[in-house]
A and B are shown apart, each in its own frame.
Chain A
Amino acid sequence: MLVLASLANGPKHGHAMIEDIVRLCGTRLGPGTLYGAIARLEQQGWIKPLPPEERRRPYRITAEGVRVLRARLTTLRKFSNAGLERLEAL
């Protein structure tokens, strides 16, 4: 989901994704973890590779990826709202 969220505002290559995810949530993904996620997301059809720029290859999110990301973020928002409401009640 971090990779999908990172690609939501435009195509990026691996290093740009790592830096964007650090800015987004403070987590620095390892290179192996990132490419493991990229391989699985690509096989699921949620991201697509673009033509390579030198040796780096950017990726973009697909329409299916946008749908999945929106659904998961909506679930997460409901969950966080419910949790915050319970915390305010304390």
Chain B
Amino acid sequence: MNPRLAHLLVCLYPRWWRERYGTEFEALLQAGRGGLRPSANVVWSAVYEHVFPTPGLVMNEHSIGTLTRKPSAFLPITMSLTALAVVLVHIAIFGTAREPDDGWTDASAGIFRHQVAAAGSTADAGGAGTAGRSGACFHGAGLLLASVKMRLGVCLGVLAIQLFTSQKTAAEFAESSAASLPFRVVRAGGPHDSRRDAGGTLQINTAGAERRSRHRLCR
């Protein structure tokens, strides 16, 4: 096989696999006959090694196979796939409905009305289109979707409120602490380390300390 092609094929394997078997595998590829079949075999094996790494080798913790094999990853993946399936089924059956924009004056009430309307329309559509169990299924799916959307909206709202209040609190704290402290830290020229200003507040000058430490370091 062409050495350059052999090198490229070896590069398809994961790093930890190449570190262990790369040299000898490349030598084997170069000694063997070329062609489409061996190349396809190597490509397939490299993909397989990425998805299902050899157990015991120093493997990538972020490979797809490693992640999906972890029990802790099973529940979130299942929940995500279920939520995705519910949303896709809802869109496939009922489509996307355009609703008038209420503006931002009463965002929380708007979100609530939107969710209630979505649940109601879903239940109505399910009841009108089918009967009995299928109607109940549509109703349940609509309620589930409305619940998921409402939770997402609530989470985003809480996040926004927290962000706003944290910024406001930090600014307020800075102002109040500066006003309440009995001294102020300043960085001014001059030989003094501290002195009182006209209002009687103690000013601590850090410039003198910095200058002395620089002088000490230079020596």
Q: Which residues of A contact B (CB under 8 A)?
A: 13-15, 18, 30-36, 38-40, 43, 52, 54-57
Contact = CB atoms under 8 A, between A and B. Distances in A.
Which applies to chain A's interface (DSSP): helix, strand, loop or mixed?
Answer: helix
A1 to B, nearest CB: 18
Interface residues of B, number: 26
Given A39-B57, A40-B54, A43-B56, A32 B46 contact: yes
B10 to A, nearest CB: 10
Nearest to A36: B45
Contacts, number: 66
Contact of A31 (B38, B48, B57): B38
A31 B25 contact: yes
Given A40-B54, A43-B56, A35 B25 contact: yes
Given A52-B24, A54-B27, 13 more contacts: A13-B28, A14-B27, A14-B28, A30-B38, A30-B41, A31-B29, A31-B41, A32-B42, A35-B25, A39-B21, A43-B54, A43-B57, A55-B23
A43 B52 CA distance: 14
Interface of B: 17, 20-21, 23-29, 31-32, 37-38, 41-46, 48-49, 54-57
Nearest to A39: B54
Contacts of A55: 23-24, 26-27
